[in-house]
């Protein structure tokens, strides 16, 4: 893109020279014979049919040769001269500066005018856009960009964040955030940036069972915002209709919740399908009300309703929607990753009181598992194996970096060491949006110490 930019500058420079030349030559205003030496109008003096022509009365130049006479007086064009001179100055100046800086081993983009950097920002390759953005960011911090220039840069950034094909660089978002901090970005533009950066999505499990659970997940894209915190997405009133039936569920998501943009945050919950729902494919609709703010609970910069149409297949009660992978497969790998790694499983206990039971949680590192897995997490007493406590359900995707923490309040829990059982659970798999296969084995982490939490 740098080479393309220099070629563009050269083309503009040639155009400037042509304008300047045409302006200096001027336009012809008549067809009088004119002395080519001094420009004197020879009307009444010059006789083209005469055998011997007198010299020019102004400069004395002989007029016998045809090249001594030009036809038509010309008037220079001041506008063309000015336009050509300005274009030459605007194009040759940066090129000379680039050559000088390059010879000195410096950053040649520092010599580019802002308009050229913005052109490179919108039309260059990935590396050139990033280099131009760094230079523009430096000028923003130095206070040398005016509001019109910032508006043009923000417009390019908004086009980039809206285009899913564009490789997003968080530095784009950092520029918009910094310009916003300098009060150079309007509420409307910043609200549009936050809305596009969030790219919110809501989705439900595609194959379910009548009377069973319908898993729903809401989240944002973490990779199209700024490198740091830039705002919040607040959401409320999530509803799911399967056909004309509104599916009920727990009310924890009836309030307003906020997700910090730039984080990999998402929320999942399970709704209960009616047991008499007909087994068939249903057109379904998921809706959620959204607003973006600069701070939790702050004024809304943009508000809208996200509507996500989806097709959900409902199977008869008692059917299974997940496939079990034979336990013998991958048993050794699961034990190596979860039992052989001392940091993979951690049990914590937060002391209660007379009126408040202890809170027991299990933190799991299920990264890079060979296949998808869904477990019910159970603690087993070492002294009395009949005593068991179900802590919760976890799900892991194959080959991904995933960490989980689940916990419950347990009355009278005073164990110092426990066995942690990770038991394959089809119910747990069906509570996810996208698990269709899960490993069917059990992993036992023996003698895990119970660590006192804060």
Indicate whether 165 pLDDT > 80: no
| Least-confidence region, from 68-72, 102-106, 175-179 | 102-106
pLDDT of residue 7: 63
Note the pLDDT of residue 249. Answer: 59
Name the percent of the chain lying above pLDDT 70: 89
Query: Fold identical between 198-315 and 323-452?
Result: yes
Strongest mean pLDDT among 38-52, 256-270, 349-363: 349-363
Dist. CA 375–CA 10, nearest whole Å:
66
Model confidence pTM above 0.75: no
Give the domain 323-452 fold: Immunoglobulin-like (2.60.40)
Structural contact between residues 243 and 274, judged by C-beta atoms closer than 8 angstroms: no
Give 332: exposed, middle or buried? Use CB within 10 Å, 0-12, 13-18, 19+: exposed
Rounded-to-10 torsion of CA 323, 326, 329, 332: 100
Task: Return the pLDDT at 104.
Answer: 43
Average pLDDT taken over every residue of the chain: 85
Under DSSP, the state recorded for 25 is: H
Closest of 241, 218, 140, 149 to residue 181, by C-alpha:
140
- SS3 assignment, position 241: strand
Q: Which residue has the higher pLDDT, 331 or 252?
A: 331
Residue 252: predicted pLDDT: 43
pLDDT score recorded for residue 123 = 74
What does the pLDDT average to over 275-303? 92
The pLDDT of residue 241 is: 94
Over residues 324-337, mean pLDDT: 93
Q: How confident is the model over 325-330, as a mean pLDDT?
A: 91
Stated as kind and residue range, the H or E segment containing 82 is: helix 78-104
Model confidence at 301: pLDDT above 60: yes
pLDDT value of residue 186: 94
H/E element holding 350?
strand 345-350
pLDDT for 345 = 94
Q: Which residue has the higher pLDDT, 27 or 379?
A: 379
Q: How confident is the model at residue 153 (pLDDT cuts 50, 70, 90)?
A: very high
SS3 of 96, please? helix
Q: Which pLDDT does position 53 carry in this prediction?
A: 77
Lowest model confidence (mean pLDDT) among 27-41, 176-190, 292-306: 27-41
Residue 96 in tokens: 């000379």
- Looking from the CA of 161 toward its CB, the CA atoms found within 13 Å total 30
Residue 75 is encoded by which pair of tokens?
């008037």
Q: What does the pLDDT read at residue 227? A: 56
- pLDDT at position 334: 95
Q: Answer with the residue of higher pLDDT: 190 or 238.
A: 190
Predicted confidence band of residue 103 (pLDDT cuts 50, 70, 90): very low
Report the pLDDT averaged over residues 87-99: 66
Q: Helical H runs in 292-385?
A: 331-338
How does pLDDT run across 7-49, given as a tens digit for each residue? 666 677 777 778 777 777 778 888 888 888 888 888 877 777 6
Four-way CATH pick for 198-315: 2.60.40.1180, 1.10.10.10, 2.50.20.10, 2.60.40.10? 2.60.40.10
Question: pLDDT of 405-436, one tens digit each?
Answer: 999 999 888 899 999 999 999 989 998 999 99
Instruction: Check whether 59 has a pLDDT greater than 90.
Output: no
pLDDT value at residue 129: 83
Q: Where are the domains of the chain?
A: 27-71, 113-185, 198-315, 323-452
The predicted pLDDT at position 48 comes to 72
Q: pLDDT band for 290, please (50, 70, 90 cuts).
A: very high
């Amino acid at each position: 893109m740098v080479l393309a930019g220099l070629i563009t500058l050269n083309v503009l420079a040639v155009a400037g020279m042509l304008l300047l030349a045409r302006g200096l030559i001027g336009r012809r205003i008549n067809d009088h014979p004119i002395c080519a030496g001094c420009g004197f109008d020879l009307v009444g003096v010059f006789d083209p049919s005469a055998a011997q022509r007198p010299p020019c009365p102004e400069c004395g130049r002989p007029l016998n040769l045809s090249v001594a006479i030009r036809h038509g007086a010309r008037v220079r064009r001041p506008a063309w001269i000015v336009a050509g001179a300005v274009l030459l100055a605007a194009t040759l100046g940066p090129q000379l500066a680039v050559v000088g800086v390059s010879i000195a081993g410096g950053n040649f983009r520092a010599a580019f005018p802002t308009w050229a950097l913005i052109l490179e920002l919108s039309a260059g390759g990935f590396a050139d856009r990033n280099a131009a953005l760094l230079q523009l960011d430096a000028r923003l911090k130095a206070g040398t960009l005016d509001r019109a220039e910032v508006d043009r840069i923000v417009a390019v950034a908004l086009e980039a964040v809206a285009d899913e094909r564009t490789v997003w660089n968080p530095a784009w978002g950092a520029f918009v955030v910094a310009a916003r901090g300098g009060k150079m970005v309007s509420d409307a533009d910043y609200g549009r940036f936050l809305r596009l950066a969030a790219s919110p999505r809501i989705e439900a499990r595609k194959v379910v069972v009548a009377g069973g659970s319908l898993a729903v997940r809401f989240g944002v894209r973490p990779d199209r915002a700024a490198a740091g915190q830039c705002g919040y997405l607040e959401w409320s009133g999530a509803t799911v209709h399967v056909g004309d039936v509104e599916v009920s569920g727990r009310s924890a998501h009836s309030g307003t919740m906020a997700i910090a943009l730039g984080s990999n945050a998402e929320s999942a919950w399970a709704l209960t399908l009616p047991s008499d729902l007909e087994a068939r494919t249903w057109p379904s609709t998921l809706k959620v009300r959204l607003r973006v703010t600069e701070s939790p609970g702050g004024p809304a910069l943009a508000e809208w309703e996200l509507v996500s149409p989806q097709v959900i297949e409902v199977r008869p009660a008692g059917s299974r929607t997940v496939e079990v992978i034979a336990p013998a497969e991958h048993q050794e790998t699961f034990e190596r990753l979860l039992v052989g790694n001392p940091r993979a499983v951690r049990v914590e206990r937060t002391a209660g009181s007379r009126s408040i039971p202890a809170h027991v949680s299990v933190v799991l590192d299920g990264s890079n598992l060979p296949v998808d897995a869904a477990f019910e997490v159970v603690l087993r007493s070492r002294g009395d194996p009949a005593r068991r406590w179900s802590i919760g359900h976890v799900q892991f995707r194959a080959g991904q970096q995933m960490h989980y923490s689940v916990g419950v309040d347990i009355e009278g829990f005073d164990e110092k060491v426990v066995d942690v059982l990770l038991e394959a659970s089809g119910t747990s798999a069906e509570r996810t949006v996208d698990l269709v296969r899960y490993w069917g084995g059990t992993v036992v982490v023996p003698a895990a110490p119970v660590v006192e939490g804060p």
